[in-house]
Structure 1
Amino acid sequence: MADYTGDDFYCDVAIPRAVPLDVVHEDDLVLAYHHTRPFWRVHLVAVPKRHIASFTTVGPDDEADIRALLAVAQRLARQVEVEHGAAAVLTNLGTYQDSKHLHVHVHSGPQVRA
């Protein structure tokens, strides 16, 4: 969604499904889907449904959400690694974080855009 100009794509667009998503996992706590504008040939995103600003702001009240997020990221990474031979898992912080909502990227393959 190239014309989105807010700062929390996940709360504003992805979680409420303001645009169609290719969902690979959804439960009460976590949504995971194929990135809408992928940077790598395989590019998945996992996000807690409850707003958590970033990895560095996680607090004691976020434990269930973080456990669920990491379990989904682990399962997706395992699947990508098996299917494609390699996987990377990352999250961005500070100015690297375009959307101010914690999210985890699982990716593999060559970069398809800068």
Structure 2
Amino acid sequence: MTDFYCEEVLSGKTLVEKVLETENVLAFNHTRPFYEEHIVVIPKKHIDSLVSIQKDEMQIMIEVLNVIKDIAINMNDRFGACTVSTNVGDYQSNKHMHWHIHFGKRIRD
């Protein structure tokens, strides 16, 4: 299975509209959004999923969570709510840990 985030987004092959970027984290508007507002947050280092995080990656995870928090605060301030989620195992369409932060009506399946 291809890793869209490493092979396309982080390599620059697929251009994304960046929302927030830190040394180890990239947040961008979903390339094919499912919701009216839909942001994806990824670590720049390849980490398979939430359940595969290693002890030496905990600092990156703190950075990931801080970015998620900042975006969630912004969405909550703007819209009054948002959803933050990640998938694990067979639910994970791409085996690179990524988080969705979204608000609004579902616009596609």
Give the TM-score category using the shorter length. over 0.9
> How much does 1:85 deviate?
1.4
Q: Give 1:88's aligned residue.
A: 83
CA distance in 2, matches of 1:75, 1:53: 23
Runs of 4+ in 1 over 2 A off after TM superposition: none
Q: Give 2:72's aligned residue.
A: 77
Could you tell me whether the CA contact under 8 Å between 1:25 and 1:31 is conserved in 2? yes
The count of corresponding residues between Structure 1 and Structure 2 is 109
Could you tell me whether the CA contact under 8 Å between 1:52 and 1:102 is conserved in 2? yes
Equivalences for 1:55-66 in 2 at 5 Å? 55-66=50-61
2:104 to 90, 94, 109: 109
Equivalences for 1:1-114 in 2 at 5 Å? 6-114=1-109
| Identical-residue share of aligned pairs (%) | 37
Specify every segment of 5 or more residues in structure 1 that has no aligned partner in the other structure, as ranges: 1-5
> How much does 1:7 deviate?
2.7
Question: Cα RMSD over matched residues?
Answer: 0.9
CA distance in 1, matches of 2:27, 2:12: 12
CA distance in 1, matches of 2:56, 2:44: 14
DSSP 3-state at the match of 1:33: strand
Task: Give the structure-2-normalised TM-score.
Answer: 0.96
DSSP 3-state at the match of 1:56: helix
CA distance in 2, matches of 1:71, 1:111: 26
CA deviation string 1:63-109 (max 9, x = no partner) = 11100000000100110111111101000111111110001100000
